[in-house]
Amino acid sequence: MSLYCENVDVHTARQRIATARVGHLATVTPANRAHLVPCCFVLDGQVVYSAIDAKPKSSRNLRRLQNLMFNSAASLLVDHYDEDWTKLWWVRVDGNGRTVDDNLELGHALDLLSAKYPQYEQTPPPGPVLAIEIETWRMWP
C-alpha cells in the first residue's frame, strides 16, 4: 500500500473503520472553519462513501458538498469511548472529498451503503453521495 500510514496497524485500522456504524466527517468552509457532522458511511478499498441523509434537503444538508467545491480536504474519524480509558481508540482517514457524479459509481456506492445499513432498504438515500479518496490513515493509541 503506497498510502501514508504512520505507525498504523492497517488491518486493525481498516477493520475498525469498516465495522463502525457511525463516523464523524469534517470538511472546511470557504471561511476556513471546520464543519463537523456525524454520518453513516461505508469503506470500499481506499474510498469512503457517505450519503446525504434522507431529511428534506436544505442548504445546511448540502453544506459539506459546497465546502468540498472550495476545498476538497475531508476527514472521517471513528472512535470508541469507554470509561476504562485504557480501552479508548480512534482511527482517522484524511483525504480528498467529492460528490459522486458517475451513475455507475453512484449505484455501486448505494449498493454498499444499503448492504451495510438495512435502514437504507426502507428509505434509500435520496440525496447526493460523497466520496472521500483516502490519502492517510492514522490511529491511536
79 binds a copy of itself (CB under 8 A): yes
Residue with Cβ nearer a copy of itself (27 or 109): 27
Closest CA to 17 of 33, 35, 40, 51: 40
List 1, 85, 103, 104, residue binding a copy of itself (CB under 8 A): 85
Residue type, 67: N
The sign of the torsion formed by the CA atoms of 55, 111, 134, 101 equals negative
- Provide the 8-state DSSP code for 68: H
Q: How far apart are CA 35 and CA 5, in angstroms?
A: 25
User: For residue 41, what is its C-alpha cell?
Assistant: 458511511
List 12, 15, 19, 119, residue binding a copy of itself (CB under 8 A): 119
Residue with Cβ nearer a copy of itself (105 or 120): 120
Closest CA to 48 of 79, 17, 2: 17
Point out which span in 9-17, 84-92, 108-116, 124-132 binds a copy of itself (CB under 8 A).
84-92
- Return the bridge partners of 44, or none: 47
Task: Tell me, rounded to whole angstroms, the distance of Cα 90 from its chain centroid.
Answer: 14
Contact 52, 41 (CB under 8 A): no
Residue with Cβ nearer a copy of itself (31 or 104): 31
Point out which span in 33-41, 99-107, 108-116, 125-133 binds a copy of itself (CB under 8 A).
33-41
21 binds a copy of itself (CB under 8 A): yes
Binding site for a copy of itself (CB under 8 A): 21-22, 24, 26-28, 31-38, 55, 71, 73-75, 77, 79, 81, 83, 85, 88, 90, 92, 94, 119, 141
